[in-house]
Amino acid sequence: MIDYKLIQALAAVVENGGFERAGDALGLTQSAVSQRIKSLEVRLGLPVMTRHPELRPTPAGQKLLNHFQQVQLLERDLTRNIPSLAEETTRLRIAINADSVSTWWATAVAEFFREEGVLMDLVIEDQDVGLRRMREGDVAACLCSSPQPVAGARAVPLGSITYRALATEQYIQHYFADGISTEALAVAPAIVYGPNDQLQHRFLQSFGYHGSFRFHLCPSSEGFVRFATAGIGYGMIPEIQARHWLKNNLLVDLAPEHALNVPLYWHFWRHSGDLLQTLTRLLERKTEEIQQWTI
């Protein structure tokens, strides 16, 4: 029989980033949290987390966290029928890309989270790699560009986001005065969200360019646009996010015929209860609206 208090301690340590903060969240001492983790590892005969160079679950720990998250969602369904079982507000952990958070996500889901009384715990990941969080059992759902669900999960299409290569007119005149060429692409500083961001590579490949290029790293969706409007570089920016700057000619489309459409898929565990099913149905109903926001 699984002792969920032990797994809860593991979840608290991972979520809060340390034993002391986990203890504060659970109303326990740091020593008590540590003891619960040790008891869990003794029962399994396996380590459930690594402590160096950072606190993170092992593969066995990740499977336990995935199971625990699904149990929490199922328990929430049960408390609707037996309210006396309810203890605390449900927190829904979702992996999502920063561009969706900065554009359509809040408007699409606000009513759901307000009416259900659920708290969001968003993990910001690039849309090309968010599914990894599902595989690791770290999240209950994710929004990513992959149509292939992991075992035990479903994937629902939610339209796409259109990205354009944008920069200031001054920047374009400086680096691309003679048009787009392999020489210009090699030296013109780009803006890249992070090491997993492949949009810039896809844009360059659309011109047949596969060489190295200069780039700034900016892991902030808002900062990304500010870098571009300041003339620091050019980058792949969601069209909806840049409408104001495009309309006022503060940003210019470097290559209108080379826009990238990135599909969005909502992934969720099949057996995680009514809460995620309700959120999924809401997102499916809003697919057409989302599509209008992002093209």
Taking residue 28's Cβ as centre, other Cβ atoms within 10 Å add up to 18
pTM: 0.69
| Cβ partners under 8 Å of residue 234, min gap 6 | 165, 166, 167, 171, 172, 175, 188, 189, 190, 191, 228, 254
Give the amino acid at 197. Answer: D
Give the span between the Cα atoms of 291 and 295, in whole angstroms: 6
H-state helical runs in 82-104: 98-102
The DSSP output letter for 143 is E
Q: What domains are there in the chain, each with its CATH number? A: 161-261 (3.40.190.10)
Q: Which pLDDT belongs to residue 84?
A: 42
Residue 261 vs residues 159, 173, 267, 291, 294: alpha-carbon distances, Å? 9, 26, 19, 11, 10
Give the span between the Cα atoms of 77 and 221, in whole angstroms: 35
Taking residue 175's Cβ as centre, other Cβ atoms within 10 Å add up to 18
Residue entry with tokens 């020489």: 183
Strand, coil or helix: 221: helix
Q: Which pLDDT belongs to residue 173?
A: 96
Strand, coil or helix: 218: coil
What token pair was written down for 124? 């910001």
**Going residue by residue through the chain (295 aa), what tens digit of pLDDT does each one get?**
677 788 888 888 888 888 888 887 877 778 878 888 888 887 887 788 887 777 888 888 888 887 777 777 776 666 555 554 455 557 788 999 888 898 889 989 998 998 888 888 898 887 667 788 787 777 889 998 889 988 888 999 998 889 999 999 999 999 999 999 999 999 999 999 988 889 999 999 999 999 999 999 999 888 999 999 999 999 999 998 998 999 999 999 999 999 999 999 999 887 777 888 899 999 988 776 665 554 4
Give φ, ψ of 212 to 5 degrees. Answer: -75, 160
Spacing of C-alpha 130 from chain mean position: 6
Q: Which residues pair with 166 in a beta bridge?
A: 235, 253
